[in-house]
Amino acid sequence: MLDIVTHKYYSLIDPPNKEEILISVENSKLTEEQDFPWTDGCSIQVERLDLREKFIPLFKPSLEIFFNELNLDLTRLSLYCHEIWRNTYRRNFFQEIHDHTPLHLSGVLFLTDEQEDDGKFFFYNEGYTEVSRQWRDLNFSGERKFIRSERGKLLLFPSYMLHGVSVHKSDNIRKSVSFNLVFNTD
């Protein structure tokens, strides 16, 4: 059996309480603080949501699935929602390749189904340039791993993973909610 060891992993979860999460994030109030200095390198509309206090109970079933997949005990962790915001993509909007360090766990909740020519969420393989052309010709290691968005699906991944959203070439509105978590093991 071939087992490739990596420190890059993600989970695309169908939350057990999907409808409750969708209703909460789509009807959440906004915070007063709406400054996003990191948007200088991209083209995106963002709105900070006032859900931090409700976040952990709302997302806990999905977090349990994620940590169980990794054989890690969620009860050992103290989790805190650092920030949660809604993203809206219109024609020609995009999100540059970035990470969320020094935070610990990041997530994206897709609010719309992916349609033709929509911007697509992807993970960026920073080691791609180290793979020889011959291995690349075999599609052994791609530069980008695209994740198909589906309404209500929750994508969880370590915050150090590089990711972005390709250019939105459609007149459809693409929406998602993103967040960052901090945890400690004390």
Edge to edge, what strands does the sheet with 95-98 contain? 95-98, 163-165, 121-124, 144-147
pLDDT-derived band at 53, boundaries 50, 70, 90: confident
Of the candidates 161, 59, 40, the residue with the CA atom closest to the CA atom of residue 109 = 59
Residue 171 has pLDDT above 90, yes or no: yes
Q: Spelled out in words, what is the top-level CATH class assigned to the domain 11-28+39-160+169-184?
A: mainly beta
pLDDT at 27: 95
pLDDT at 4: 47
Which residues are CB-neighbours of 96 under 8 A, at least 6 positions away? 41, 42, 164
> Per-residue pLDDT tens for 73-85?
888 889 999 999 9
**Mean pLDDT (the chain, rounded):** 90
Whole-angstrom distance, CA of residue 100 vs CA of residue 82: 11
Given the structure tokens 């993509």, which residue do they identify?
89
> Per-residue pLDDT tens for 114-167?
999 999 999 998 765 666 767 666 666 567 889 999 999 999 999 999 999 999
